[in-house]
Amino acid sequence: MNVRTQDGSAGDVDYGTITSGHSPFRRPDTRIARFIAEALGEARTVLNVGAGAGSYENAAREVTAVEPSRSMRARRPARLTRAVDAVAEELPFADGEFDGAMTLFSVHQWSDVTRGLREMRRVTRGPVVVLTCAPELVRDFWLYEYAPEVLDTEALRHPRVEDIAAALGGTGAVHTVPIPLDCTDGFNEAYYGRPEMLLDPAARQACSAWSFVDDGVRQRFDENLRRDLASGAWDDRHGHLRTQSTYEGSLVLVRATPDPA
């Protein structure tokens, strides 16, 4: 059962009260968009579940967006279609209505991931594409040395990739998504080679995991990272990342197609 806030938010974040997910720090990245477009292949009609303000919808041809939060729906640019007010767990569409479907940076917020993914499978004839983080890889990022609470939160929120693939059934594949050094979509790992960016509270706020930790965690993170950047300790350990063109971290794309009947 989905519990929805006054704003309509259905996941573990109330977008009526926090600003993450529709920040200037979260602009869709063209290289990641290409990855998504390739996974959708020839699909013409595409369902986007947990569509938010519509990031990456240009990766698909004809989009139907589903978004439960009123404030997120209101942030969709006029050039995009209006989003349907619904939740993943109960999609108001017929069986096999869409050629393809995608859900991006969203499944970790759903109250019943298996049910939501089965619904996506039900309404989709072709590929279902899920962009998410593999929870067992989340803590491998250097940020864990400075804000373990944030990444512990992320690791707990994200469903296991095996469970996603099992819920979708059919033939599945999991691809690591290379994150470009100048990635414009500011999730935590996007700053792997630009640690100074995470000293900006607005950049941190654009990742919802930071809204689950208290001020003490944020303050300790800020002090320790500033100290290590000033002393060169961060660069001694991770400086090679400043020039590494891509980073393979926890970001993965799960793609599943139905087996022939």
Ligand X SMILES: C[S@@+](CC[C@H](N)C(=O)[O-])C[C@H]1O[C@@H](n2cnc3c(N)ncnc32)[C@H](O)[C@@H]1O
Contacts with ligand X, residue ranges (CB under 6 A): 2, 9-11, 15, 21, 49-52, 55-56, 66-69, 72, 87-89, 104-106, 109-111, 116
Q: How far is the CB of 111 from ligand X (least distance, A)?
A: 6
Q: Whose Cβ is closer to ligand X: residue 105's or residue 234's?
A: 105
Q: How far is the CB of 53 from ligand X (least distance, A)?
A: 6
Q: Whose Cβ is closer to ligand X: residue 87's or residue 225's?
A: 87
* Number of neighbouring beta carbons within 10 Å of residue 232: 10
Q: How far is the CB of 89 from ligand X (least distance, A)?
A: 6
How far is Cα 85 from Cα 79, in angstroms, rounded to an integer? 18
Q: List the structure tokens of 68.
A: 């439960």
Torsion of CA 53, 59, 61, 67, to 10 degrees: -30
Q: How far is the CB of 9 from ligand X (least distance, A)?
A: 5
Q: Whose Cβ is closer to ligand X: residue 74's or residue 233's?
A: 74
Stretch (H or E) spanning 22: none
Torsion of CA 41, 45, 47, 48, to 10 degrees: 60
Q: Whose Cβ is closer to ligand X: residue 141's or residue 234's?
A: 141
Q: How far is the CB of 259 from ligand X (least distance, A)?
A: 26
Q: Whose Cβ is closer to ligand X: residue 157's or residue 228's?
A: 157
Q: List the structure tokens of 19.
A: 């600003």
Angle among Cα 174, 73, 88 to the nearest 5 degrees reads 45
Q: How far is the CB of 68 from ligand X (least distance, A)?
A: 5
Q: Whose Cβ is closer to ligand X: residue 122's or residue 220's?
A: 122
Q: How far is the CB of 10 from ligand X (least distance, A)?
A: 4
Nearest partner of 124 among 161, 158, 94, judged by Cα:
94
- The full DSSP string for 147-212 is -HHHHHHHHHHSPPHHHHHHHH-SEEEEEE-PEETT-SB--GGGGTT-GGGGGSHHHHHTSGGGGG
- The full DSSP string for 87-140 is BTTB--S-TT-BSEEEEES-GGG-S-HHHHHHHHHHHBSS-EEEEEE-GGGGGG
DSSP label at residue 213: S
Q: Whose Cβ is closer to ligand X: residue 27's or residue 242's?
A: 27
